[in-house]
Amino acid sequence: MNILDQIVASTRERIARDKVSTFTPTSKTPLQPFAFEQALRDDDMRFICEVKRASPSKGMIARDFPYVQIAQEYEAAGAAAISVLTEPEYFKGSDTYLQEIRAAVRTPLLRKDFIIDAFQIEQAAMLGTDAVLLICAILHETQLREFIKQADNLGLSCLVEAHDENELRTGLRAGARVIGVNNRNLKTFNVDLHNSIRLRALAPPEVIFVAESGIATAQDVQLLRENHIHAALIGETLMRAADKKKALGELRES
């Protein structure tokens, strides 16, 4: 069983626990429906800055983890959106992180988790997020279409993540308005920044295109700009920076 399959299995167990817990999702519409995708529509490169404590590929990234302060630093630095990991076992995330960050910042939030059940989208709305991550590698096209429709009804955006041409086309057929191409293969952990560039030509210009993973320098950002990519989702590079505002400024000034 590869790591992605392990995470999905763990997620199924978590959902089963959540469904019988005292937690009862109560959907609510964001103050500004679809704020996430609106924030990414700009003439210049936009940045989705990630609050991430750990990952399967890198282990513990931030033992000292003042997550609310980190989100506030991202907001002060001009992040278009903030991605918050909520998967607890492999990424050491928490729904609590998302709730407390929502109370502290106005920047649009992405709940980054492994969505495999409609229940999780209801959860996301209750937690106060503006967008959810939908991963093509773990969802059938019918599920993607249903989850996008459900999110639309709640005023939530969907970042539909693809790793290859087939997944990208699946996401587009399902109605994705925001496509994220993960440059890290979730099965092997190999990173190839050019994965985003290769797939960019396959997406219509009106679809917001996000490059994810492997973006570490101003030169990387400039390469994405030159290839008409709208936004970059950056996690480890910013999480390891002592001065996050300075680090994001250096990435922007390419």
Residues acting as catalytic residues: 50, 52, 112, 161, 182, 212-213
Compute CA 160 distance to the chain's CA centroid, rounded to the nearest angstrom.
9
| Residue of 209, 37, 211 whose CA lies nearest to 108 | 37
| Residue of 36, 46, 2, 90 whose CA lies nearest to 215 | 46
| Residue of 227, 222, 224, 226 whose CA lies nearest to 212 | 224
